């Protein structure tokens, strides 16, 4: 019974082998080693390409950051600050009285505030010089008040400039814009320091003119008294004849 059972199975195996043998000529022969090498090469190439793309992206981002850092600030308040300073300088230039220029100041001071009066100086000339000194003091006070008014007017402009600069600094997209905004803030601070010096100059000038006038008034009073008292020779009464006999 057993040999009869194995005969069909053997025939089926033979048929399968014949079929496989017949179709073996149509199959492509694959080299596993070569296939693995090619796959690894493709993976390495893909990884290299990915790294290059990442590097290019990083370089692009770096260039964009550099462009932001090099972007200039399209905002400038220097002209506004210069105009404010020019207004104060104009008021100082319009100041009357003693000049600010040293040579002219020395000449006028020597004339109006002499160490001693010449004997040829008349009483009318003394009165005229006293009036000029009073006018100089008045003009000095007027100039100081005008400078104070101009500085008070500039405060509103300075507040607007400060607000604009803070806004520009906070919205800066790069280090250059932030640096430029900071420089303009420093310019505003310097401008305010200059105006403070101009204000001090006008106020101190007014005070100096007042003190000089007081000193000159005392000196003039002594001169008037000296002239009134004469040369110091005592007066000797003499008889006067009203009617001739």
160 with 84, same domain? yes
pLDDT band at 240 (very low <50, low <70, confident <90, very high): low
53 with 104, same domain? no
181 in any annotated domain: yes
Question: How many angstroms separate the CA atoms of 76 and 225, rounded?
Answer: 64
135 in any annotated domain: yes
pLDDT digits 0-9 by tens, 118-155: 888 888 888 898 898 898 888 888 888 888 888 888 88
13 in any annotated domain: no
Question: How many angstroms separate the CA atoms of 124 and 129, rounded?
Answer: 9
CA 159 to each of CA 15, 96, 154, 185, 192: distance values in angstroms, whole numbers, following the listed order = 104, 31, 9, 12, 11
pTM: 0.55
54 in any annotated domain: yes
Higher pLDDT, 107 or 229: 107
pLDDT at residue 7 is higher than 60: no
User: Under a CB-based contact definition with an 8 Å cutoff, are residues 98 and 201 in contact?
Assistant: no
48 with 160, same domain? no
pLDDT band at 115 (very low <50, low <70, confident <90, very high): confident
46 with 130, same domain? no
pLDDT digits 0-9 by tens, 60-73: 777 666 666 656 66
48 with 93, same domain? no
Total tally of structural domains belonging to the chain: 2
Q: What is the pLDDT of residue 234?
A: 60
CA-based nearest residue to 202, from 239, 160, 150: 150
237 in any annotated domain: no
Question: Once rounded to an integer, what is the mean pLDDT over residues 186-197?
Answer: 86
Question: How many angstroms separate the CA atoms of 180 and 163, rounded?
Answer: 15
pLDDT band at 17 (very low <50, low <70, confident <90, very high): low
100 with 205, same domain? yes
178 with 223, same domain? yes
46 with 86, same domain? no
The domain in which residue 65 lies consists of: 36-70
141 in any annotated domain: yes
Q: What is the pLDDT of residue 64?
A: 66
168 with 195, same domain? yes
């Amino acid at each position: 019974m057993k040999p009869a059972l194995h005969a069909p199975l053997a025939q089926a195996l033979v048929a399968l082998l014949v079929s496989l043998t017949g179709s073996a000529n149509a199959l492509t022969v694959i080299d596993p080693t070569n296939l693995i090498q090619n796959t690894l090469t493709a993976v390495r190439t893909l990884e290299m390409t990915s790294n290059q793309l990442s590097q290019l992206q990083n370089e692009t981002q770096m260039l964009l950051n550099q462009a932001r850092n090099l972007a200039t600030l399209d905002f400038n308040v220097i002209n506004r600050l210069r105009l404010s300073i020019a207004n104060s300088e104009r008021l100082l230039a319009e100041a009357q009285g003693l000049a600010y220029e040293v040579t002219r100041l020395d000449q006028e001071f020597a004339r109006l505030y002499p160490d001693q009066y010449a004997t040829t100086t008349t009483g009318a000339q003394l009165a005229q010089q006293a009036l000029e000194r009073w006018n100089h003091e008045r003009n000095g006070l007027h100039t100081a008040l005008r400078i104070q008014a101009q500085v008070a007017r500039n405060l509103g402009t300075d507040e607007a400039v400060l607000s604009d600069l803070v806004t520009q600094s906070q919205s800066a997209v790069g280090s250059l814009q932030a640096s430029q905004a900071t420089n303009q803030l420093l310019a505003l601070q310097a401008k305010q320091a200059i105006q403070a010096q101009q204000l001090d100059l006008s106020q101190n000038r007014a005070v100096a003119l007042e003190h000089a006038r007081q000193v000159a008034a005392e000196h003039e009073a002594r001169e008037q008294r000296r002239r009134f008292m004469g040369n110091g020779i005592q007066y000797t009464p003499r008889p006067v004849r009203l009617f001739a006999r």
